[in-house]
Amino acid sequence: MAKYKMHILICGGTGCKSSNSLQIIENFHNILAEKNLADEVQVIKTGCFGFCEKGPIVKIMPDNTFYTQVTPEDVRRIVDEHIIKGRKVPDLLYTNPENKEHVSDSKHMDFYKKQIRIALRNCGFVDPENIEESISRGGYEGLAKCLTEMTPEQVIAEMKASGLRGRGGAGFPTGLKWELCAKNKADQKYVICNADEGDPGAFMDRSILEGDPNSIVEAMAICGYAIGATKGLVYIRAEYPLAIDRLKIAINQAREYGLLGKDILGTGFEFDIELRYGAGAFVCGEETALIHSMEGQRGEPTLKPPFPAVSGYMGKPSNVNNVETFANVPVIITKGAEWFSKIGTEKSKGTKVFALAGQINNVGLIEVPMGITLREIIYEIGGGIKDGRQFKAVQTGGPSGGCLTAKHLDTAIDYDSLVAAGSMMGSGGMVVMDETSCMPAIAKFYLEFTCEESCGKCTPCRVGNKRLCELLEKITNGTGTMEDLESLRNLAAVIKDSALCGLGQTSPNPVLSTLDNFWDEYVEHVVDKKCRAGVCKKLMQYVIDPEKCIGCGKCAKGCPVETIQRTDYIAPGHKLASFHIEASKCIKCGACINNCKFGAISIK
């Protein structure tokens, strides 16, 4: 095989794919063939690079050039200029928003500077559909090490020593979980990978599965060896077709290479993996609900104990870990617990992948060491708030998390500090909000989500969350009372205290944290009937300033409900009588404001 002089890495993750990255790949193939360069330049479809804000991403190696927002039409220029002539295409390079300079190397971008990529180590670097690329990066060496050099007890001890905690949200120590399952004797045990990622806007697990499925296959086999299981199951949502494809390819290739199946690496160890598809119910991310769903039962949680480690899938001891947790496992084995435990904080080791979203410049997927501050994430990696607006809050932990404020910006984030601050790690959603966000409305948004996704089994979640939602609706439409605020607080506290599963117990967090941190805003909605962010439509009033109105009538013409009428007042200096908006009929569509060229209409 001829050796390629250059590699072109093109993101084939779901985000970039939907921005036409497959066409980019095809164009590269065609144009390189046309130029007789197909033997010299290799084109690789990789997983997600993380910088989705700037996708599709094309990376040229070995020059380590990082092209952003590439279109299929740009391909010819890249080939002609960069590949053939060795000149970088400046307008496709990332531009530092502060000094407007082009940055060609991802290492020098703020977005990547503070990141440490462990779980995402192969994402955007290897071809996820080629196990050989994974092997050449040391893939399956962790498994080999376990099988040939370590006893299951040693593997568990290593995991415990690493301090790795569950990345699905609750942060249970992974090694301990394995140990509990390993202790239970049974004729069959199961390793279950929870790939039912459900937080709105979160795509950590999807990106790992799309970009580096072999790590998950390897980690599950390691877990199987440690706990004494020969079967692995991946519960993955059917809405992740690409992740499913890549995982299937990885499993098949691993079988072909003898890295799954019977007698792995000649050690006699047997392990294989099957996929189970979920329909995307949020609650099925809860491990008991997930297991019931896999069994063909209604996807709803049951009380623990019994824990899955004792009685899980089909009543057999089962170990459930999330995708990101598994992604850390092979590296911990190859590089050692000591190496891993040096990263992070005292009680939270390693890194965490976050899906950075909201009103922030650099939206995307990031992996940062535990202990990094929110400020570093938001202002350095995230590039600060969009359009220079003010930071207001950051929501972590998805619908189960809480909203933190500016006073928490310098908190070193780990599992415990986030809980102490009134939020949680969760699976890694991170939504940044600025002054245009209304906090009661945000709380309502999350509650609507949990209402929709509640399994309905327990009263506090089934009825309680519905009532919370209704109270928030009252507050945001201006009919709330101070008693409602009290009711809101008590009900939220009772739900937190008495719901059956993690979903229910954490669902009031957005309410409780916004009540704590943004009490004034609630009171404003209730007492002053005002929404300072201008989000709650029912609380807005469109007003025409008669002194500024020249009486042109454009607003009235454009009003869909004909609620703008001419008055008989003519302001000094104007020739025509001004207009007035009859508030009771106004639907707050905003058409008049857009039509007024004289700035006479404002929202109050």
Partner 1 sequence: MINVTIDNKAIQVPEGTTILKAARMAGIDIPTLCYFELDGMNFENKPGGCRVCMVEVTKDFNGKPRRNLAPACATDCVEGMEVLTASPRALNARKTVLELILSDHPNDCLQCEKSGDCELQSLAARMGIREIPFKGEQTTYKKDTTLSVYRDMDKCVYCRRCETMCNKFQTAGALSGVNRGFPSVVAPAFEQKLGDSSCINCGQCVQVCPVGALTLVDNIKNVMDALADPTKKVVVQTAPAVRVALGEEFGMQPGEIVTGKMAAALRRLGFDRVFDTDWSADLTIMEEGTELLGRLKKALAGEPVKLPMFTSCCPAWVAFYEKNFPDLLEYPSTAKSPQGMFGAVAKNFLAPKMGVKREDLVVVSIMPCLAKKSELARQELGNGTDQDVNFSLTTRELAHMLKQCNIDLNQLPEEDFDNPLGQSTGAAVIFGATGGVMEAALRTAYEVHTGKTLPRIDFEETRGFQGIKEATIDFDGFPLKIAVAYSLANARKLMEQVRNGNPNGYHFIEVMACPGGCIGGAGQPYHHGKSDIIRKRMEAIYREDSGKPIRKSHENPDIIAIYKEYYGEPCGHLSHEQLHTHYFDRSDKLEATK
Partner 2 sequence: MTKVKSLADLKAMREKLQSNLDVREKAEHPESLVQIKVAMATCGIAAGAKQVMEHMMQKAEELNIPAVFTQTGCMGYCHAEPTLEVRVPGKDPIVFGHVDNNRADEILTKYVQQGELVEGIIPVNYETIDK
Q: Which stretch binds partner 2 (CB under 8 A): 233-241, 256-264, 300-308, 506-514?
A: 256-264
Which of 29, 35, 114, 137 is in the footprint of partner 2 by CB under 8 A?
A: 137
Q: How far is the CB of 496 from partner 1 (least distance, A)?
A: 8
**DSSP for residue 2:** P
Q: Which stretch binds partner 1 (CB under 8 A): 161-169, 332-340, 449-457, 544-552?
A: 449-457
Which of 18, 33, 64, 90 is in the footprint of partner 2 by CB under 8 A?
A: 64
**Residue 382: Cβ within 10 Å count:** 29
Which of 436, 487, 563, 595 is in the footprint of partner 1 by CB under 8 A?
A: 487
From 215, 216, 195, select the one nearest 206 (Cα to Cα).
195
The Cα 99–Cα 103 span in angstroms is 11
46 in helix, strand or coil?
A: strand
The yes or no reply on residue 477 touching partner 1 (CB under 8 A) is no
Amino acid identity of residue 27, one-letter, is N
Q: How far is the CB of 461 from partner 1 (least distance, A)?
A: 8
From 85, 151, 106, select the one nearest 11 (Cα to Cα).
106
The yes or no reply on residue 291 touching partner 1 (CB under 8 A) is no
Q: Which stretch binds partner 2 (CB under 8 A): 92-100, 138-146, 320-328, 360-368?
A: 138-146
Q: Binds 258, which of partner 1, partner 2, none (CB < 5 to 8 A, cut-off by type)?
A: partner 2
Q: Are 76 and 31 in contact (CB under 8 A)?
A: yes
Which residues in 303-322 contact partner 1 (CB under 8 A)?
Answer: 303, 305
Q: CB-wise, 58 or 320, nearer to partner 2?
A: 58
Strands 269-278 and 231-237: what pairing? parallel
Which of 467, 548, 566, 588 is in the footprint of partner 1 by CB under 8 A?
A: 467
Helices 213-227, 323-335: axis angle to 10 degrees equals 80
Task: List CB contacts of 111: < 8 A, sequence separation 6 or more.
Answer: 50, 51, 362, 364, 366, 381, 383
The yes or no reply on residue 491 touching partner 1 (CB under 8 A) is yes
Which residues in 13-42 contact partner 2 (CB under 8 A)?
Answer: 42
The number of residues that bind partner 1 (CB under 8 A) is 33
The number of residues that bind partner 2 (CB under 8 A) is 36
Which of 26, 141, 435, 470 is in the footprint of partner 2 by CB under 8 A?
A: 141
Which of 49, 125, 235, 326 is in the footprint of partner 2 by CB under 8 A?
A: 125
- Neighbouring-strand partners of residue 368: 352
Helices 213-227, 152-162: axis angle to 10 degrees equals 120
Q: How far is the CB of 258 from partner 1 (least distance, A)?
A: 41
The Cα 285–Cα 288 span in angstroms is 9
The Cα 488–Cα 443 span in angstroms is 11
H or E stretch including 321? strand 318-322
Q: CB-wise, 459 or 541, nearer to partner 1?
A: 459
The yes or no reply on residue 281 touching partner 1 (CB under 8 A) is yes
- Neighbouring-strand partners of residue 231: 190, 272
Which of 24, 500, 559, 564 is in the footprint of partner 1 by CB under 8 A?
A: 500
Strands 231-237 and 190-195: what pairing? parallel
The yes or no reply on residue 268 touching partner 2 (CB under 8 A) is no
449 by Cβ neighbours in 10 Å (0-12 / 13-18 / 19+) ranks as: buried
The Cα 454–Cα 460 span in angstroms is 10
Q: Binds 137, which of partner 1, partner 2, none (CB < 5 to 8 A, cut-off by type)?
A: partner 2
Which of 127, 300, 367, 434 is in the footprint of partner 1 by CB under 8 A?
A: 300
Q: CB-wise, 48 or 512, nearer to partner 2?
A: 48
Q: Are 210 and 242 in contact (CB under 8 A)?
A: yes
Q: How far is the CB of 342 from partner 2 (least distance, A)?
A: 20
Instruction: Report CA-CA distances (Å) from 476 to 400, 466, 470, 530, 590.
Output: 21, 15, 10, 9, 19
Q: How far is the CB of 464 from partner 1 (least distance, A)?
A: 5
Which of 71, 95, 130, 302 is in the footprint of partner 1 by CB under 8 A?
A: 302
Strand order in the sheet with 190-195: 261-264, 269-278, 231-237, 190-195, 318-322
The yes or no reply on residue 452 touching partner 1 (CB under 8 A) is yes
Q: CB-wise, 467 or 588, nearer to partner 1?
A: 467
Instruction: Report CA-CA distances (Å) from 332 to 164, 341, 387.
Output: 9, 9, 41
DSSP string, 29-41: HHHHHHTT-TTTE
The yes or no reply on residue 451 touching partner 1 (CB under 8 A) is yes
Encoding tokens for residue 53?
Answer: 């804000």
Q: CB-wise, 209 or 500, nearer to partner 1?
A: 500
> Which residues are near partner 1 by CB under 8 A?
281, 298, 300, 302-303, 305, 451-460, 462-467, 470, 487, 490-491, 494, 496-500, 505
> Which residues are near partner 2 by CB under 8 A?
1, 3-7, 9, 42, 61-64, 84-88, 125-126, 132-133, 135-138, 140-141, 144, 147-148, 256-259, 265-266
